Structure 1
Amino acid sequence: MGAPPMPPGPGGSRASGIGPLLREWRRRAGVSQLDLALRADSSARHISFVETGKSRPSEEMVLRLAEHLDVPVRERNALLVAAGYAPRFPETPLDSPGLAVLRDGLDRLLAGYEPYPALVMDGRYQVVAANRGIALLLEGVAPWLLTPPLNAMRITLHPEGLAPRIRNFREWRGHLLDQMRRQLALLRSEPLRELYEEVAGYRLPPGGDERVGGHSPLALPMVVEHAGRRLSFLSAIATFNTPVDVTVSELAVETFLPADPETADHLRATLSQPASS
């Protein structure tokens, strides 16, 4: 995912670039200069000077402001660079030896969710790990969509993917596109925007207009046909708390919990054999 471009400041200095970026993040958060100053133990005058390029904040102040504005980890690096400092947070490739323990932990977590489907995605919805429950749902998906790198949005929304089997596809599609729009409102990511434009432009499969919003009192379910049965799932997404690595900060674990006893029974019966070690 791309970081916000660094705006040029007076005289073209790197340090002055943080002003417009900070102002944009503050406005996105709906926070006044005074409110931000109170939260960050600063003054409205100092915040104003930083935003207008009259003052250069310390590295610690940049991080403190970013923390109180809930700026994503990748974008905190962008703020630091715009202020003339080195990035603080590394971006470690997921396949690096340093993340071996994390990968092992994620694999164990996914296996623990079985027979319920679960997967791990990065910030571009690329699937980096999945369990047997997900494999079950992907039966019938076009092989080219299952060629690495797998993308969860393409697999779900493409007419050769899951789309024809999702009975409330229009509802579920609207939910996913809203989710991507919210993400784009927070992050300036050209690859993510390109993905959004791609999947939003897919033709709609016939059917899939069943409305099941009242099916569950908890949340909108995804209703999928599998082996002649209707399976209903509630989706939940978990992320890492207080990450200090860009890669880790953008990982998300999505689980699909049965929304009714029939779905739970079918999953248990279909995936009754333990996963091979």
Structure 2
Amino acid sequence: MATEHRPVGQLLRRWREERRLSQLELSSLSGVSTRHLSFVETGRSQPSREMVLRLADQLDVPLRERNQLLLTAGYAPVYAQTPLSSPHMTQVRAAIAQVIAGHEPYPAIVVDREWNLVDANGAAGVFMTGIAAHLLQPPSNVLRASLHPDGLAPRIVNLGEWRAHLLARLRRQTGFAAGEQLAELYAELSAYPCDQPEPHVELPGPGDIVVPLRVRHEGGELAFFSVLTTFGTPLDITVAELSIESFFPADARTATALRG
């Protein structure tokens, strides 16, 4: 893991600003005096390992970046990144399989931090039809496969709306600690062609409560909304960075088609 060249105090300040907290508010949440917190952020005081972890916890810093903070402060990382194929991950794999299988006949996919496909249920095949083989080669990136001209994009009825929604999600993820890969992915996807207007702000139409995904399929149209699920209280980076996206029918016609 490459270490950040900034002092740990500057990184903690960046995270505090990212979370829109004042020093007084973070002091109250963490039990660290405002004076001591100020000294840490300015480099006048070196935080202990326990203080780094306490502040990172109150700032809801992702586990990967908590390890980075520890390394920058001169301490060993504490959070492992166990391959999903490891025997230690048997129960995690079983939980994922149970969730996505139980969601059938509706689609469900599992992705990692960089939106690479980790797993999917059989119903997710409704999205795979017509996607070029090179986009499905592992590691297949679901955002790239969705918006690429050789991917799902030609079948998305509301491509401009859905594309704006996906890019907004990715843009929110590309913060200062997100890494170059997500920034490069955002630049790549933004450059893909789109012949529909893309709203700058997601506004609801009549009766809309979510941004739907509308897909042409077998001569008809299917409409979906999705729900994201993550693991609660993860202590491993791999587990913390997994997300299950479950797609639900947005209208009765789609529900009937999928159940059939």
User: TM-score per shorter chain, which class?
Assistant: over 0.9
The Cα shift of 1:188 comes to 2.8
Per-residue CA deviations over 1:29-85 (Å, capped at 9, x if unaligned) read: 111111111110111100011011111122121111111111111111111111111
Counterpart check, 1:90 vs 2:80:
yes
- Which residue matches 1:6? 5
> In 2, distance between residues paired with 1:153 and 1:67?
30
Q: 1:220 is matched with which residue: 202, 205, 211?
A: 211
Q: CA contact under 8 A between 1:164 and 1:208: conserved in structure 2? A: no
- Which residue matches 1:158? 148
Change (3 A) 1:230 1:216: farther
How many aligned positions are there?
A: 258
Q: CA contact under 8 A between 1:156 and 1:162: conserved in structure 2? A: yes
> In 2, distance between residues paired with 1:215 and 1:119?
29
Q: 1:38 is matched with which residue: 19, 28, 31?
A: 28
- Which residue matches 1:257? 248
Counterpart check, 1:242 vs 2:241:
no
> In 1, distance between residues paired with 2:86 and 2:115?
20
Please report the RMSD computed on the Cα atoms of aligned residues, expressed in angstroms: 2.0
Which runs of structure 1 show a deviation greater than 6 angstroms over 4 or more consecutive aligned residues? Answer: 208-212
Q: CA contact under 8 A between 2:213 and 2:225: conserved in structure 1? A: yes
The Cα shift of 1:218 comes to 2.3
Q: State the TM-score, normalized to the length of structure 1.
A: 0.88
For 1:1-277, list aligned pairs within 5 A.
5-7=4-6, 17-185=7-175, 187-204=177-194, 206=195, 213-214=204-205, 216-269=207-260
Q: State the TM-score, normalized to the length of structure 2.
A: 0.94
> In 2, distance between residues paired with 1:215 and 1:145?
35
> In 1, distance between residues paired with 2:203 and 2:24?
45
Change (3 A) 1:4 1:199: farther
Change (3 A) 1:59 1:212: closer
> In 2, distance between residues paired with 1:57 and 1:209?
46
Q: CA contact under 8 A between 1:166 and 1:223: conserved in structure 2? A: yes
Structure 1's unaligned 5+ residue stretches are 8-16, 270-277
> In 1, distance between residues paired with 2:93 and 2:2?
25
- Aligned residues: percent identity? 48
> In 1, distance between residues paired with 2:40 and 2:66?
16
Q: CA contact under 8 A between 1:168 and 1:208: conserved in structure 2? A: no
> In 1, distance between residues paired with 2:237 and 2:77?
11
- Which 10-residue stretch deviates more, 100-109 or 244-253? 100-109
